[in-house]
Chains A and B, each alone.
Chain A
């Protein structure tokens, strides 16, 4: 069964460094998302991406964040200058047009030291 994959599974970085989290959505899906989950907290929406552009972003998704679909298969989340509070599990998700189920990847655990 097709699934969303994410790399790396765990990334450790120093504060102020740039990180790129990578996702390969399910191949026939059209909508792409990033969510994050700080340890012990709710899963929070960051951004949605459709037709090669951001369709919605949350307040969390400030100028330090960007997303890209560089080659038609990968979907990346870049954090330009990481902060301690960016430490979280980052989930990528994708869905078809219809139905509306979002399928999540296994997540990347980002640790900022």
Chain B
């Protein structure tokens, strides 16, 4: 699989349920970031987890990171119709010039139905 593969590719749930999305990657990372994209729109930053962190929370979001398995998960609790979007993980690698670049996964399309 390629760097930053999400699964499932698509997920359909009822409002109020929890949604879990997984991301696997191949190379060493400095951190991993999750983004949301509504159809045809920009990327909204959700949360960043550093390589030395195992779990992070932000509101209804919970992210875990397992660097030994090179995987991460994003849990959205008590989902709402407004959470309907595509969710991407992006691995962050430091570059020789001192900057960083994000390598995005294929994304999970989440649909939350009323």
Contact = CB atoms under 8 A, between A and B. Distances in A.
Contact of B97 (A56, A106, A109): A56
Report the contact-size class of chain A (Cβ under 8 Å from the partner): 20 to 34
Given A43-B43, A48-B95, A106-B41, A100 B48 contact: yes
Given A55-B99, A100-B92, A101-B48, A42 B42 contact: no
B103 A45 contact: yes
A63 B98 CA distance: 23
A109 B88 CA distance: 20
B30 A100 contact: yes
Contacts of A56: 95-97, 99, 101
B25 interface: no
Report the contact-size class of chain B (Cβ under 8 Å from the partner): 20 to 34
A49 B99 CA distance: 8
Contacts of B40: 89, 109
A104 interface: yes
A75 to B, nearest CB: 14
Interface in A11-56: 31, 33, 35, 42-45, 48-50, 54-56
Main SS class of interface, A: strand
Contacts of B4: 42
B43 A91 contact: yes
A43 B48 contact: no
A50 B107 CA distance: 28
Q: Which of A35, A49, A56, A105 has the most CB of B within 10 A?
A: A56
Interface of A: 31, 33, 35, 42-45, 48-50, 54-56, 89, 91, 93, 95, 99-107, 109
Given A48-B99, A91-B42, A95-B100, 16 more contacts: A42-B104, A43-B104, A44-B104, A45-B102, A48-B95, A48-B101, A54-B97, A55-B96, A55-B97, A55-B98, A93-B43, A99-B48, A100-B31, A100-B33, A105-B42, A106-B41
29 contacts: A42-B104, A42-B105, A43-B102, A44-B104, A48-B97, A48-B99, A48-B100, A48-B101, A50-B99, A54-B97, A55-B95, A55-B96, A55-B97, A56-B95, A56-B96, A56-B101, A91-B43, A93-B43, A93-B102, A99-B48, A100-B30, A100-B31, A102-B45, A102-B102, A104-B45, A105-B42, A107-B41, A107-B42, A109-B40
